[in-house]
Structure 1
Amino acid sequence: MARLFTEQFAFSAGDSVAVIGLGRFGSSVAQSLVRLGHDVMGIDKDADLVQRWSNILTCAIQADSTDVNVMRQLGVADFSHAIVGIGTDMSSSLMTLMALTELGIKDIWVKAFTAEHGQIAQRIGAHHVVYPEADMGARVAHLITGRMIDFIEFDDGFAIARIHAPASTHNKSLLASRVRENYGVTVVGIKRTNEEFEHATATTLIQPGDLLVVSGPTSKIERFAGSTEKR
């Protein structure tokens, strides 16, 4: 789930990030960000969680994130990005968001667990709202069907997926199979067993067993991945 979340970031290398809430979600995201080279301050009111992550994050602090004065004293206003990953306490999540907004943080991400939570967060000032449980549910559903090997969906319904080459494309060039015209998706590249990844061109020949990296609207990728009849 953390990987799915961090893939959405457009952070520059070395950007500082404040992660508020070091539960299962927040700590996983924070750890992933550290591995990606970011300075991460973790904040949580639970002393045990702070202690657990103190040697892994750049710093971990026990504090009340809903108090804007406390957050200001911690220097959170100097951070480029903030992530509110508080668990199921909507009140604490939104009050923390209000504190971050008052501090003028320019890039605030909020984990929401209901549509209502997400809508309120956006109205208060969240720049990005994510629904990790829902996103992971959709991801797993796609993988279970066997149509997609990997799947990333963005906020606007656009997705990138790795799929088995559908039968409708076998032994044809991309130009001849007319994938974009017939399905409204773009084949970005092809991977064959024991061969290097190949960026797709109009003359690229698709063979049975190929793995395709495709991009486009989620619904159209689903239709393309599920196509079995040759045109």
Structure 2
Amino acid sequence: MKLIIIGLGNFGLSLAEELLSAGYEVVGIDNSPAKIEEAKDMIPSVFCLDATDKLALSVVDIKKDDVFLVAIGKDFGDSIKIVATLKSFAGNPIYARAVNKLHESVLEGLDVARILNPEKDSSRVFVQSMPTKGMMEVMKADDKHSIVKLTATEKLNGITVGRNGFDRFSLKVLLMSKRTTKKNIIGLTSYTQEVVENFSNDTVINTGDMIVVYGENDNIKLYLEYYSN
């Protein structure tokens, strides 16, 4: 899995530095030769291209499990056009920076995986919750345990919590929420999560639901191997 950062300004470079330090494979994209020149000593693979052009993006070896990070802050229009272009790829998660509430509402309407707010989320905190293979986010509890947020794929659709394999890997389900639709402030349909107050082993999981579990890192790894096969 590669993390493809589009926009190599201060926020994009900060993200790249933290991601590389955490061991992720990072690719950088910007349409400014000056920014590419600045980034090339830090990021092993950089491309100077227009990310609103899908043909131009074809020079990047994009795999189905790669994640896009749109880190552009100043140009609202370019950010939206880039996200719209990236949506044409086969389901790659898109994380995008929002500079104001209007920008955030449009990104919600485009159904990005996560909206980044540098004023609230430092690059270090963000990297600690970055998704890894298996459509999840991880937060370290201690050296041996983690809290994992899974987003249910079609493979889990219709399966109950009790039949999901959590007990087999000694994972404790802490929270579950259901994916629902709503209209945002500019009338676009967006998605939100509503917490299931009294879930049980008989609660049915549907595509897009969120499940938060806690357990030992080794058991989480084993479960994810099972989950992704």
- Give me the TM-score of the superposition, normalised by structure 1: 0.50
Q: Residue 116 of structure 1 aligns with which residue? A: 102
Q: Residue 29 of structure 1 aligns with which residue? A: 15
Change (3 A) 1:105 1:48: farther
Q: Residue 161 of structure 1 aligns with which residue? A: none
Q: Please give the secondary structure, in 2, of the residue aligned with 1:96.
A: helix
Change (3 A) 1:105 1:60: farther
Structure of larger gyration radius: 1
Change (3 A) 1:114 1:121: same
Amino acid in the other structure paired with 1:92: D
Q: How far did 1:130 drift? A: 1.7
Q: How far did 1:135 drift? A: 4.5
Does 2:31 align with 1:45? yes
Q: How far did 1:58 drift? A: 2.5
Could you list the runs of 4 or more consecutive aligned residues of structure 1 that deviate by over 4 angstroms after TM superposition?
A: none
Amino acid in the other structure paired with 1:21: G
Q: How far did 1:75 drift? A: 2.5
Q: Residue 160 of structure 1 aligns with which residue? A: none
Q: Distance in 2 between matches of 1:20 and 1:74?
A: 12
The structure 1 residue matched to 2:75, chosen from 66, 70, 89, is: 89
Change (3 A) 1:77 1:100: farther
Q: How far did 1:17 drift? A: 0.6
Q: Could you list the runs of 5+ residues in structure 1 that have no partner in the other structure?
A: 1-14, 140-151, 154-231
Does 2:20 align with 1:62? no
What is the CA RMSD across the aligned residues, in angstroms?
A: 2.6
Q: Distance in 2 between matches of 1:110 and 1:61?
A: 19
Q: Tell me which protein shows more helix as a share of its residues.
A: 1
Query: Within 5 Å, which residues of 2 pair with 1:136-215?
Result: none
Change (3 A) 1:88 1:97: same
Q: Please give the secondary structure, in 2, of the residue aligned with 1:118.
A: helix
Corresponding residue pairs, total? 127
CA contact (8 A) 1:72 1:103 kept: no
Q: Distance in 2 between matches of 1:65 and 1:79?
A: 19
CA contact (8 A) 1:19 1:85 kept: yes
**Which structure carries more relative contact order (alpha carbon 8 Å, separation 6+)?**
2
CA contact (8 A) 2:98 2:117 kept: yes
Deviation per residue, 1:73-105 (Å, 9 max, x gap) = 323355521100012101110111111110124
